[in-house]
Amino acid sequence: MQNNLFVGKVRQHFDTLPSTNDYVAELLAKSKPPEGLVVLADNQTAGRGQYGSRWYSAAGENLLLSILFYPIWLKAVEQWALSETMAVAVRDAVAEITRLPARIKWPNDVYLGERKTAGLLIQCVLGNACVQSAIVGIGLNVNQKHFPPQVPNATSLALACGHALDRSVALEQLLWAVEQRYLQLRQGFAARLHQEYRDHLLGLGQHRRFIGPDGSAFEGIPEDVLPDGRLVVRTDQGRAAFALKELTWLPTQ
């Protein structure tokens, strides 16, 4: 077990919650819980992914958790750096646990091959031009072997490795990676973290299919990610930068 400084030192574990992010937000509205608080649930009845999508997880088979941070040293206009940092951390953990290449699918999912094994939902509270608090929700598929048709491109660590894993060991590896990367961001290494995010970006420099802001499908080549999180895609019409809610990344055939 890794000896973390603060992430996971205080934990609350539930059999079932509607949403770990919502639970932490409720705590935050009433008090000031310690930084690094981890709330875990074996099952979520209203888990969410990016853009309000639902996160599907079999009860007791995966990791569903939220971590509380107070990055008041981070400017509000730089909050994308926290998203990149957390994506890099989860990718680190997945790669370490599986000993397999893991990549980040923009904006902050983690993939093994062309299948999703983890997703993040980060909710920030801004004030005085800084990030006052951040709730980092993480869903990591650990031992689930069957997924509903709504998530045809999902996988798990167990499916990738060919055997079941100890969820508690996976949790400690995840929390260790999150703390190490968060400390790097706090120490001013945002540029290095951005480069690592870019280095592990799925589909960078490759032809990919998307649905654009007008709802039409198109092909393009992801070339870069800007400091505000926009994805730069080169198409036959030139280069364009897309915000998080403007672009849907279609799975490969």
What pLDDT does 57 receive?
Answer: 75
The yes-or-no verdict on residue 175 having pLDDT over 90 is yes
pLDDT tens, residue by residue, 42-74: 999 886 655 445 666 788 899 999 999 999 999
Higher pLDDT, 60 or 20: 20
The yes-or-no verdict on residue 85 having pLDDT over 50 is yes
Contact 97, 173 (CB under 8 A): yes
Angle between helices 167-186 and 80-98 (to 10 degrees): 140
Separation CA 67–CA 229 (nearest Å): 21
pLDDT tens, residue by residue, 180-218: 999 999 999 999 999 999 999 999 999 999 999 999 999
pLDDT tens, residue by residue, 108-166: 999 999 999 999 999 999 999 999 999 999 999 999 999 988 887 899 999 999 999 99
> Where do the domains of the chain lie, and which CATH numbers do they carry?
11-199 (3.30.930.10), 208-249 (2.30.30.100)
Q: Residue 39's beta-bridge partner residues?
A: 12, 66
pTM of the model: 0.94
> What percentage of the chain has pLDDT greater than the value 70?
95
Separation CA 241–CA 200 (nearest Å): 19
Mean of the per-residue pLDDT values of the chain = 93
